[in-house]
């Protein structure tokens, strides 16, 4: 039987943290979720329709909220964790406001933040008004208004640039963010639905269509929606006198340089670990991946347990994942935590 007095703290109330909270709550454990924002839900609150099937993000948020209603974990918002101190038999979790919580197990689910596109100066984000990110475009789509240029005009030609802040040694991120290729396909289709006459080009290094129905959507984007995909590395974006944008790229298939003009450029920004995760990991003696995500103690058999006993990781704080993968990962973490707590209890009873 479970010992109901065993207490688990989950840091982060995004999809990973909430899914783990309801699974652990359903198994009878006392669970506390510490979320630094005023609301839970993580990045789901920013997205409109999700790849690969255009399911409204609100539906997944509703699913997670129902899980909380049924399994009632304690959820504390505006609770930013800054460090964890592992003690011999328990974990001490310290908040930015000085509060201290203790628990048998800590599950870190602090997620990711999007790469700051201003760091790629050559693309002109926040310099040229018609250069936006995939997060900005998602907000426009969510608002229900037509996609427009800053002058309020309907864009005729739109470019999506892949790998912004990912697979890029210059900015120190060699990892692939995994979700931005399919986000580029999804958003290009959504824009085409709104603006059937627009010409849309995606500039990519490689198309990474790893998930269920991703490849199918990529084919549909080309065949049904007429979206053009160019294997090319964009070197620079400059503004023309009329406010349109000139994009310089090398077509990496033909080896030829090219220049094209666009009304709107969308930068597909990648994932980096959420601010503060580095400090939390270091305070708990955790290891990091090359991309500075939190490392697990085995890449094949145990992706959710760390080298520090009693501290587990789940979701995009450990690697870039889609929502479906995040939810699966959270449930896997739950199984690991339950078996770890049972082992601990057995040892203490012997
Ligand atoms: C542009 C873009 C579009 C995407 N679109 C899709 C899509 O269409 N379909 C899809 O499947 N996936 C999509 N994704 C991926 C999806 O957003 C992630 O899979 C999902 O958000 C991961 O959930 P998470 O809980 O790991 O992280 P997050 O969503 O980042 O949640 C982490 C939570 O932890 C909290 N937190 C962080 N630090 C602390 C701290 N120190 N103390 C307390 N709380 C903290 C945060 O406030 C947040 O609430 C997209 C990603 C990007 C970049
Ligand atoms: S998913 Fe695609 S766009 Fe994103 S980093 Fe990987 S290759 Fe680049």
Domain CATH number, residue 339 = 3.50.50.60
- Same domain, yes or no: 79 and 124: no
Query: Does any ligand 2 atom lie closer than 6 A to the CB of residue 8?
Result: no
End position of a domain, from candidates 270, 304, 326: 270
- What residue's CA is closest to ligand 2, atom 2? 181
- Same domain, yes or no: 124 and 248: yes
**Percent residues over pLDDT 90 in the chain:** 91
- Same domain, yes or no: 75 and 99: yes
The CA 77 to ligand 2 mean position distance, Å, reads 33
Q: Which residue in the block uniquely carries the two structure tokens 């510490």?
A: 34
Across all residues in the chain, what is the average pLDDT?
95
Does any domain span residue 130?
A: yes
Number of H helices, E strands in the chain: 7, 19
Q: Mean per-residue pLDDT for 76-98? A: 97
- Same domain, yes or no: 266 and 281: no
pLDDT at 107 over 50: yes
The CA 112 to ligand 2 mean position distance, Å, reads 16
End position of a domain, from candidates 218, 242, 270: 270
Q: What is the sign of the dihedral through the CA atoms of 43, 198, 166 and 236?
A: negative
Does any domain span residue 315?
A: yes
Any idea which ligand is nearest the CA of 314?
A: 1
- Same domain, yes or no: 165 and 250: yes
Predicted pLDDT at 349: 84
Distance between start and end Cα atoms, the chain: 16
Nearest to 147 by CA among 187, 204, 201, 202: 187
Q: Hey, what's the torsion of the CAs at 323, 329, 331, 332, to 10 degrees? A: 170
Q: Which residue in the block uniquely carries the two structure tokens 């427009």?
A: 148
- Same domain, yes or no: 37 and 63: yes
- Same domain, yes or no: 203 and 337: no
Bond preceding residue 175 cis, omega within 30 of 0:
no
| Atom number of ligand 1 nearest to Cα 134 | 1
pLDDT band at 253 (very low <50, low <70, confident <90, very high): confident
Predicted pLDDT at 4: 63
End position of a domain, from candidates 253, 270, 287: 270
Q: Which region among 120-129, 179-188, 220-229, 339-348 has the lowest average model confidence (pLDDT)?
A: 339-348
Each residue of 112-129: b (16+ CB within 10 Å) or e?
Answer: bbbbebeebeebbbeebe
Nearest to 262 by CA among 282, 248, 280: 248
- Same domain, yes or no: 243 and 311: no
Q: Mean per-residue pLDDT for 296-300? A: 93
Does any domain span residue 45?
A: yes
**Which residues, 6 or more positions from 119, have their beta carbon under 8 angstroms from its beta carbon?**
165, 171
Does any domain span residue 152?
A: yes
Q: Which domain holds residue 71?
A: 7-111+274-349
Q: Which residue in the block uniquely carries the two structure tokens 């909220």?
A: 65
Q: Mean per-residue pLDDT for 202-217? A: 96
Query: Does any ligand 2 atom lie closer than 6 A to the CB of residue 320?
Result: no
Does any domain span residue 2?
A: no
Q: Mean per-residue pLDDT for 322-348? A: 95
- Same domain, yes or no: 309 and 233: no
Predicted pLDDT at 3: 45
- Same domain, yes or no: 245 and 331: no
Query: Does any ligand 2 atom lie closer than 6 A to the CB of residue 180?
Result: yes
Rounded to the nearest 5°, which phi and psi values hold at 281?
-60, -45
User: Exposed, middle or buried: residue 289 (CB in 10 Å: 0-12, 13-18, 19+)?
Assistant: middle
pTM above 0.85, yes or no: yes
State pLDDT tens for residues 3-51.
468 999 999 999 999 999 999 999 999 999 999 999 999 999 999 999 9
- What residue's CA is closest to ligand 1, atom 23? 15
CB 300 within 8 A of CB 280: no
Does any domain span residue 196?
A: yes
The length of the chain, given as a count of residues: 350
- Same domain, yes or no: 131 and 225: yes
Query: Does any ligand 2 atom lie closer than 6 A to the CB of residue 271?
Result: no
Predicted pLDDT at 2: 46
Does any domain span residue 1?
A: no
- And the tokens for 4? 């109901």
Any idea which ligand is nearest the CA of 115?
A: 1
Total domains in the fold of the chain: 2
Does any domain span residue 148?
A: yes
Query: Does any ligand 2 atom lie closer than 6 A to the CB of residue 145?
Result: no
State pLDDT tens for residues 230-250.
999 899 999 999 999 999 999
- Same domain, yes or no: 295 and 200: no
What is the Cα–Cα distance from 12 to 110, expressed in whole angstroms?
A: 5
pLDDT at 81 over 90: yes
| Atom number of ligand 2 nearest to Cα 162 | 3
């Amino acid at each position: 039987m479970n010992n109901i007095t065993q207490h688990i703290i989950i840091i982060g109330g995004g999809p990973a943290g909430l899914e783990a909270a309801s699974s652990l709550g359903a198994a009878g454990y006392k669970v506390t979720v510490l979320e630094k924002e005023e609301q839970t839900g993580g990045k789901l609150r920013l997205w409109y329709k999700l790849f690969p099937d255009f399911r409204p993000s609100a539906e997944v948020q509703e699913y997670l909220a129902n899980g909380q209603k049924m399994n009632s974990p304690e959820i504390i918002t505006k609770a930013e964790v800054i460090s964890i101190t592992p003690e011999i038999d328990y974990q001490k979790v310290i908040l930015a406001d000085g509060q201290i919580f203790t628990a048998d197990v800590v599950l870190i689910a602090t997620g990711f933040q999007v790469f700051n596109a201003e760091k790629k100066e050559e693309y002109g984000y926040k310099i040229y008004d018609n250069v936006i990110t995939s997060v900005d475009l998602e907000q426009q789509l969510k608002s229900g208004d037509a996609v427009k240029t800053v002058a309020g005009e309907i864009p005729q030609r739109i470019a999506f640039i892949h790998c912004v802040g990912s697979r890029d040694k210059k900015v120190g991120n060699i990892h692939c963010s995994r979700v931005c290729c399919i986000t580029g396909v999804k958003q290009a289709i959504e824009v085409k639905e709104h603006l059937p006459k627009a010409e849309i080009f995606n500039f990519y290094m490689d198309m990474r269509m790893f998930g269920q129905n991703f490849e199918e959507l990529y084919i549909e984007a080309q065949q049904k929606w007429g979206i053009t995909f160019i294997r090319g590395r964009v070197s620079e974006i400059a503004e023309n006198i009329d406010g349109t944008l000139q994009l310089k790229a090398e077509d990496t298939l033909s080896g030829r340089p090219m220049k094209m003009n666009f009304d709107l450029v969308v930068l597909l920004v990648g994932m980096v670990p959420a601010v503060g995760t580095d400090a939390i990991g270091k305070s708990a003696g955790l290891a990091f991946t090359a991309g500075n995500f939190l490392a697990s103690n085995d890449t094949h058999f145990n992706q959710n347990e760390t080298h520090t006993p009693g501290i587990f990781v789940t979701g995009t704080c450990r690697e870039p994942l889609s929502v479906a993968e995040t939810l699966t990962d959270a449930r896997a973490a739950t199984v690991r935590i339950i078996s770890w707590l049972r082992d601990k209890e057995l040892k203490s009873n012997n």
